[in-house]
Chain A
């Protein structure tokens, strides 16, 4: 299991409480690993800390405890190795679609010539079907088009890991479906490693290899990693006919409706006890198989190995 591209080790986030109040532990004991080329979705109720985890992975926020290790190095601050797509697109409104992408390409490959930057940028604009509107400002595009620009920008820098925070949350169902398909196409072409947050169960099943299920906060954690063994290439209209689709869907929905809260309650009762350090068990709802995943590195030694790496 040391083949993981990225591991999160014992992450927690604690906000100091209001004056005199209890500090707020949003989540703790968050552990997981993501393989190279994998598409992972994270599902959980609003407020359980998904965005916070994603920002920590991106290096935009700091965890209270724990570390994120990518390629054997601890993540410290943002980097072009980790591309981010935010829910609100985060395009720069004063420059054109083309420039929104080309500035990212330029910062990724500073030595490239003008032509190289142009060609690379246009390639990704075409990939998301926006050729012809590249000279418009973001404000002149629909929400769906803007999110495509944002996706194109993130893919164009060819990061080792792509992080998406509810990228389709603000889009209508029709647009959402179209962009999901575009995302699948681009992902299949690039073999990009992706971690994506969503609250849409069907979207998660359509896109991911695994779905991380988060319990409710406070003290949220990742309870299970659900295997989606439906073969690719997946299609929105056909995937629902696959034998495994409904078992998976029911399992995830059941988790969100019932178990996310129950697990959290038991979790709070166990507070104060030594938190077990383990990856979430891998669950295959279709076969009913549950695989415990061992961690081969002892977290207490993580810091030492890292110091050794630095030397």
Chain B
């Protein structure tokens, strides 16, 4: 039943994709050379190709070419898309795991202690709504390193969902489960690991999933800002080269990697999910 639904959904998806790409391809043909070349153009050896949105076929050809050798490195302005994505992923994952290292224990503390909850709430409320990129100048000034600054920006943007979800998950562990821990004389550490953590894990993982999504959104912008390497820089660089085919191709790659990140966290969430 479900399988048949899946098959039908896949067919509809493919139909939509074909229609979309087909219309795009047909409606976006390069304009015919109608006017005669101006004198200037003749001197320059033909007309400059008009920059225009590329066709799916062109993007497809580029994708095959790029993905057949994704990791080449021919200097700072010519690196394979795979390599650029690796730079971005490295920053995202470092910032993200550092954030988890801070957010989960602190979230535990807040969730366990109403005092800490009240004491730390004002800080969280003020810091949370700050756009992560607003930290960039300060980070660059203090850390004096664009690499570490990008990681810091990822750290600061992924910390909040994890922190808030951990605190919420921990504070809303059912009293029944805590009573089980109490009647079995489990100590604080054992209660935390045997009862509170597994009980709150689905909520914590949901926070982690939100965070990885935000981190991946932010890294592109951060890399556009600081430059050097990474897929954000790549997009901006190709825009400066007016190579829109590469821009569209890298947009698709960003979406694809983002999807993989989200899927892996979704899978992890499923692993800790339990049915009451």
Specify whether A and B are partners.
Answer: yes
For A92, give its contact among B182, B198, B201 (CB under 8 Å): B198
Asked, given contacts A92-B198, A93-B274, A93-B275, whether A60 binds B179 with beta carbons under 8 Å apart, the answer is: yes
Out of B180, B199, B201, B275, which one reaches A139, CB within 8 Å?
A: B275
In the complex, what distance in Å separates the CA atom of A107 from the CA atom of B183? 10
A83 interface residue, CB < 8 Å from B?
A: yes
Residue B195 is within 8 A (CB to CB) of chain A in the complex: yes
Instruction: Check if A82 sits within 8 Å of B183, measured CB to CB.
Output: yes
**Residue of chain B at shortest CB distance from A99:** B194
B185 touches A79 (CB 8 A): yes
User: Does A157 interact with chain B (Cβ within 8 Å)?
Assistant: yes
> Is A84's CB under 8 angstroms from B183's CB?
yes
B186 within 8 A of A: yes
| A157 and B274 within 8 A (CB) | no
Taking CB atoms, residues of chain A closer than 8 Å to B186 are: 107
- Partner pick for A157 among B184, B198, B272, B276, CB 8 A cutoff: B184
Do residues A107 and B180 form an inter-chain contact, with CB atoms below 8 A? Answer: no
- Residue pair A137, B275 in contact (C-beta under 8 Å): yes
> Could you tell me if A92 and B195 are in contact, using CB atoms closer than 8 angstroms?
yes
C-alpha spacing A300/B201, complex, angstroms: 49
Quick one: which of B183, B199, B272 has the most chain A CB within 10 A? Answer: B183
Chain A 87-108 per-residue mask, 1 if CB under 8 angstroms from chain B, else 0 = 0101111110000000110011
Judging by beta carbons under 8 Å apart, are A84 and B198 in contact? no
The answer for the CA separation of A137 and B273 in the assembled complex, in Å, is 12
A:34-54 near B, CB below 8 Å: none
Instruction: Find out whether the CB atom of A139 lies under 8 angstroms from the CB atom of B183.
Output: no
What 1/0 flags go to A62-88 for Cβ under 8 Å of B?
000000000000000111101110101
In the bound complex, what is the Cα–Cα distance between A172 and B272 (angstroms)? 32
Report B-chain residues with C-beta under 8 Å of the C-beta of A93: 274-276
Task: Specify which chain A residues have a CB less than 8 angstroms from the CB of B185 in the assembled complex.
Answer: 78-80, 107
Interface range on chain B: under 10, 10 to 19, 20 to 34, or 35 or more? 10 to 19
Within the complex, the shortest CB–CB distance from B185 to chain A, in Å, comes to: 5
- Report chain B residues within 8 Å CB of A59: 182-183
Residues of chain B with a CB closer than 8 A to A104's CB: 184
Residues of B within 8 A of A11 (CB): none
Q: Which of B174-225 contact A (CB under 8 A)?
A: 176-177, 179-180, 182-186, 190, 194-195, 198-199, 201
Indicate whether A58 reaches chain B with its CB closer than 8 angstroms. Answer: yes
Contacts of B147-196 to chain A: CB distance below 8 A? 176-177, 179-180, 182-186, 190, 194-195
Which residues between 88 and 141 of chain A lie within 8 Å of chain B, taking CB atoms?
88, 90-95, 103-104, 107-108, 137, 139
Assess A94 versus B184: contact at CB under 8 Å? Given A60-B179, A86-B179, A137-B275. Answer: no
CA distance A79 to B182 in the complex (A): 7
Chain B residues within an 8 Å CB radius of A92: 177, 180, 194-195, 198-199
A40 to B177, CA, bound (A): 26
CA distance A91 to B198 in the complex (A): 13
Residues in A neighbouring B194, C-beta threshold 8 A: 92, 103
CB nearest to B275 among chain A residues: A139
Q: With the chains together, A94 CA to B201 CA distance in Å?
A: 10
Inter-chain pairs besides A78-B179, A88-B176, A92-B194, 4 sampled, C-beta below 8 Å: A80-B185, A90-B176, A90-B180, A94-B274
Identify the A interface with B (CB < 8 A).
58-60, 77-80, 82-84, 86, 88, 90-95, 103-104, 107-108, 137, 139, 157
B contact residues vs A (CB 8 Å cutoff):
176-177, 179-180, 182-186, 190, 194-195, 198-199, 201, 272, 274-276
Would you mind naming 16 contact pairs between A and B with Cβ atoms under 8 Å apart? A60-B179, A60-B183, A78-B182, A80-B183, A80-B185, A86-B176, A86-B179, A91-B180, A92-B180, A92-B195, A93-B276, A94-B198, A95-B198, A107-B186, A139-B275, A157-B184
